[in-house]
Amino acid sequence: MSSRSRRQRGFTLVFCAIGMVVFILFAGLAIDLGVYFTARTSAQHAADAGALAGAFSLVNDPTSPQPAAAQDAAVIVANQHKILATQVSINPTAVSVDLANRRVTVTVPRTAASNNPIPVYFVRIIGITGLDLRATATAEANQNATRFSPPIWVPNTALSKKPMTAGACDPIENLVDQNPPYSPTQWALNQIGTQFTLIQQPLPPSRTTPPNSFYIVEFGDLGSYTNNNSPYTKAAYDLYTCLWKNGFNSPACSPPVVPSAAVVPFAACGTGFPGGGYPVDLGDDTWTQPTVDGVNGLICAPSGNCSINPPDTWQGVGRYIPGTGGASRDTSRSLVLAPIWQNCVSGINGWSNSGGNKFEIVGFALVFIDKVETTTITVNTLPVVVTKLTLHLVNILGCPNPVPAGEGFAVPVRLVQTP
């Protein structure tokens, strides 16, 4: 073999070695960046949830000293999240509260300065031992916002895929804890962004009732509103659909529609309704069409006809495409804050079709309503047409302990900045 051939062979080996090193470096960089962006997403979820919880405290807990209450609420919720299997750990210094504008900003850092950067593996060979990460979110509690609590009750098992008799009441399948302080469960927080359905039930709750059943609010002075399977009156229909379109305690739904029913304190944590507990209308399939009309009146405003005024479209948490088109926005007319009742601890057996059924509110689900429709289910071998809601879960808010007595609210919170 000539000296020239040996030199060429040597160059080939050198270039192959260099190529292998470069390939390994790029592969390692891709893996490390994948880990980083996974951590970045988890940190953003923690910041978003913390900011929403902090802003919500400005509305739901007005008697506690601020900004400490907002900071505490934000820290508790943010710290329930994990980044790469490591628990988030922030303190009140990571929460900024702007009381004048009713805004709460949460920062979730993972930096070398705090001795917890995002770990890297392959790029250590070039001297990089970790990557800094900082996720920030700002949420706003606006007293003039139009979002509100709708006239329905959402069960604590709403997202469970298991039967009530086989796991739906397992605490890890619930939206909030079954006992005080009613904090959102880690399982529920992991479901944020998930689409799910709720189906109105024509029978009282029982151990065989599907975990995603919902019921409507009952008021004692609405006559046939509370008489199951009786035709509703025009006054009751007008009030019920108005409450869907405008929310409880809205001036738009005040008397003279139905004199006393529209002014009841509603959607407060605990049992703030007069007489203790909140009333539920059990198994009333006659309210299917009013529910459809009321929901469409909200999400397809102002006409209530979704062919004329299309509803907003879900793109992600804090990103909603207006029905009129255009760029996504961070709030939507399809957002509502639905009260959660503890169906696994109380309210399963012993319900009365004659009325007087009440229960406690243990939290709230901030949801985006995609659509409302009717569906047919079988009840006692007979087909029954009921209402079906399709929604996305945006956030879970637990009730404080002790529960502030008699506190109601009309809504609330939205993300205004998620970098």
pLDDT of residue 12: 67
Residue 324, beta-bridge partner list: none
Q: Classify residue 178 by burial, with Cβ atoms within 10 Å: 0-12, 13-18, 19+.
A: middle
Residue range 318-333: mean pLDDT, rounded = 83
**Location of structure tokens 């400490």:** 68
What per-residue confidence (pLDDT) applies to 30?
A: 74
Q: Which of 3-12, 84-93, 194-203, 350-359 has the lowest mean pLDDT?
A: 350-359
Count of helices and strands (H, E) across the chain: 5, 18
In the chain, domain spans: 3-141, 152-414
366 φ/ψ sector (left φ>0, alpha ψ -120 to 50, else beta)? beta
Helix H or strand E segment including 191: none
In this prediction the pTM is 0.61
C-alpha 397/C-alpha 97 separation (Å) is: 19
CA distance 307 to 284: 28
Taking CA 297 as the corner, what is the angle to CA 293 and CA 298, rounded to the nearest 5 degrees? 125
Q: What is the pLDDT of residue 26?
A: 65
Parallel, antiparallel, or unpaired for β 152-155 and 335-341?
Answer: parallel
Decide if 360 contacts 277 (C-beta within 8 A).
yes
Range name among 15-19, 53-57, 203-207, 341-345 with the lowest pLDDT average: 203-207
Q: What is the predicted pLDDT for the residue at 273?
A: 46
Phi, psi (degrees; rounded to nearest 5) at 75:
-65, -45
| 92-145 pLDDT, tens digit each | 999 999 987 888 999 999 888 877 888 877 767 777 777 888 899 998 875 444
Average pLDDT over residues 4-29: 62
Query: Is the confidence at residue 349, as pLDDT, over 60?
Result: no
Q: Do 317 and 415 contact (CB within 8 A), yes or no?
A: yes
Summarised one tens digit per residue, pLDDT across range 3-14 is: 555 555 556 666
Tokens of 216: 């409507």
* pLDDT of res. 37: 85
pLDDT at 402 over 50: no
From 41-55, 205-219, 327-341, the region with the lowest mean pLDDT: 205-219
Crossing angle of the two packed helices 288-299 and 234-246, in degrees rounded to 10: 30
Task: Give CA angle at 38 (36, 39), nearest 5°.
Answer: 65
User: Under a CB-based contact definition with an 8 Å cutoff, are residues 295 and 389 in contact?
Assistant: yes
In the numeric block, the tokens 């009282």 are attached to 204
From 41-45, 79-83, 286-290, the region with the lowest mean pLDDT: 286-290
Measured distance CA(262)–CA(247) in Å, rounded: 10
Type of residue numbered 409: F
Taking a C-beta distance cutoff of 8 angstroms, is the pair 280, 358 a contact? Answer: yes
Asked whether the beta carbons of 78 and 49 are under 8 A apart, the reply is yes
pLDDT for the residue 311: 95
What order of strands is seen across the sheet that includes strand 95-98?
A: 95-98, 103-110, 133-141, 413-417
DSSP character at residue 380: T
For residue 352, give the amino acid letter. Answer: S
Task: Tell whether the model's pLDDT for residue 249 goes beyond 80.
Answer: no
Q: Are 39 and 84 in contact (CB under 8 A)?
A: yes
Instruction: Provide the pLDDT confidence category of residue 150 given band limits of 50, 70 and 90.
Output: confident
Instruction: List the single range of 146-160, 218-232, 287-301 with lowest mean pLDDT.
Output: 218-232
Q: What's at 176, amino acid-wise? A: V
Across 12-16, 204-208, 265-269, which has the greatest mean pLDDT? 12-16
Q: Of 207-211, 248-252, 352-356, 406-410, which has the strongest mean pLDDT? A: 207-211
Q: Are 377 and 386 in contact (CB under 8 A)?
A: yes
Mean pLDDT of the chain, nearest integer:
75
3-state secondary structure of 350: coil
Instruction: Look at residue 96 in the predicted model and tell me its pLDDT.
Output: 94
Give the residue-averaged pLDDT of 251-270. Answer: 48
Q: Count CB atoms within 10 A of the CB of residue 132.
A: 14
- CA dist 45 to 33, 81, 86, 157, 257, Å? 18, 8, 14, 22, 43
